[in-house]
């Protein structure tokens, strides 16, 4: 059986991939096909997540065993056939390609083609430009004001809503240390 996956990104809305792969192939081969199509290197840690209908992570398929002590099953890309964890059209997955900043592609099993087989994965369609493979971590670190920064220097945007209501905080004053 052949699977057709649609892959996209929230970072680059015009970016889309369509990858076809044999269902008996491994997640490692799917990973490599995605990375090649996106123009990314293969030397980074990444994972697939099988998701529920609301995109919540359920099962992780990892590049390598991280040696965590867990009662949960460990799924390795190299050893896990796709059909072992993915079988229903419409099934959702995430491919985390940048662990440092938790960036990923959304994936969906668009179509299953019974009775067909495929030797090598194939990118059937590529649209738009993939988001940058990695982003400088400084772009994700919040700016923390200096200790001696005055309220006037911070400006109103720092505090959010311009409509400050002191009464909203009064309920916290009623909490005593015995309540904590």
| Phi, psi (deg, nearest 5) at residue 13 | -60, -25
The pLDDT value recorded for residue 102 is 86
Tokens 């699977």 -> residue = 3
The pLDDT value recorded for residue 163 is 55
The pLDDT value recorded for residue 176 is 46
Residue 28 to residues 46, 75, 111, 128, 154, Cα–Cα distance (Å): 10, 11, 20, 24, 48
Q: What is the CATH number of domain 2-135?
A: 3.10.290.30
The pLDDT value recorded for residue 173 is 46
If DSSP codes are grouped into helix, strand and coil, which group holds residue 46? coil
Whole-number Å distance between alpha carbons of 4 and 50? 16
Spell out the per-residue pLDDT of the chain, length 180, in tens.
Answer: 999 999 999 998 899 999 999 999 999 999 999 999 999 999 988 999 999 999 999 999 998 876 665 666 789 999 999 999 999 999 999 999 988 888 999 999 999 999 999 999 999 999 999 998 887 666 555 445 556 656 566 565 555 555 555 554 444 444 444 444
Domain ranges of the chain: 2-135
Exposed, middle or buried, 5 (CB in 10 Å: 0-12/13-18/19+)?
Answer: buried
Whole-number Å distance between alpha carbons of 160 and 20? 46
Sheet holding 57-62, edge to edge: 75-76, 57-62, 47-51, 92-98, 103-113, 2-8, 16-22, 122-127
């Amino acid at each position: 059986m052949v699977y057709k996956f649609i892959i996209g990104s929230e970072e680059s809305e015009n970016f889309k991939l369509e990858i076809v792969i044999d269902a008996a192939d491994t997640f490692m081969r799917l990973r490599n096909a995605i990375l090649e199509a996106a123009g990314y290197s293969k030397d980074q840690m990444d994972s697939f997540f099988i998701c529920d209908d609301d995109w919540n992570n359920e099962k992780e398929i990892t590049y390598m065993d991280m040696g965590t002590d867990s009662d949960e099953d460990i799924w390795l890309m190299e050893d896990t056939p796709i059909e072992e964890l993915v079988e229903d059209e419409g099934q959702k997955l995430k491919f985390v390609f940048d662990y440092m900043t938790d960036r990923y592609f959304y994936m969906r099993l668009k179509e299953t083609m019974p009775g067909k087989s495929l030797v090598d994965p194939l990118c059937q369609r590529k649209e738009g430009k993939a988001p940058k493979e990695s982003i400088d971590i400084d772009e994700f670190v919040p700016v923390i004001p200096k200790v001696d920064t005055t309220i006037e220097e911070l400006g109103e945007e720092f505090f959010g809503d311009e409509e400050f209501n002191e009464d909203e905080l009064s309920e916290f004053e009623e909490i005593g240390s015995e309540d904590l």
